[in-house]
Structure 1
């Protein structure tokens, strides 16, 4: 398989990249600053250019997307647009453009987050973005052709980065990296479509 991983440098992306590199598949990486290719997910023309260079793939995995974490009283339209333009439009545009470079039976995996299901202070914009991606995945799964699949993984704070997130996620229990990677593995290599794999217990 040829797998394109967009966002391999982030916390989740590094876990997915390590896992995939242990497979026998060809892994192609892309991010803003490093990897096989450079990409700015807020620019559809750059996304199109990336796929023109990469060509046909069997799987597209996106583990990147910036959101604003302002509390509601400080959340402005400008701050909220960061979540809309980066995580929502960035991920969905990769799927929209990437579907035409996906081999029959191939898969697309996007990334949402736990605060679509359980809310935290300062998470309004992020919850909105995660909800949008969830709905996109569920609806798009009915229209993809040639046996192509689309899913998302709902990510969760990890044990190895818990210190950065603990103040936001009081009462939550961080999860192991292996458990998170397993959810991406299900999406990439499995048969399900339109599903949100929850990377938390």
Structure 2
């Protein structure tokens, strides 16, 4: 695991971070299949590296009502940061997205997920963070979501949308919210060096690449 800089060291490391790294949305096609729209709010659970950045990107998406950082794939007893960081719990850092399907569809959320929220070709890592807790994984909340996710992965693979193979897995498992200090981290700590180096460029790239989806 790569240690994220503690808040107390923010001023010290900001100078060392330098300019934010350039990011851009990968141009990929929209999914050919989608989950039918419903009147009630729906839930999606996605994992793709540090949940701070994942949360930050999806908080920008029009139609998303709430995003919660947490853990998925392991047990309730081990759903805490110190345990998950040991890479022995089977948990992945994940986010739970509550969204209005009349405004944004599940397939659209997947397009953002694959295009800019993370790199689906990195196995058990994202950026500076390594370990299975940073894996690329989708936790479908219904049979329809599973079918749409599987079809989209197959579609992107056939289209050679990425230079490497997509390693995203479809998994089962409950979602457990992370500790309070992890929630809404991007908004509460905009000058944190990890946020400045890795997540602000990603959010900017989303807004540039998907202007019609951005709030």
TM-score by length of 2: 0.28
Structure in which a larger fraction of residues adopt helix: 1
TM-score by length of 1: 0.29
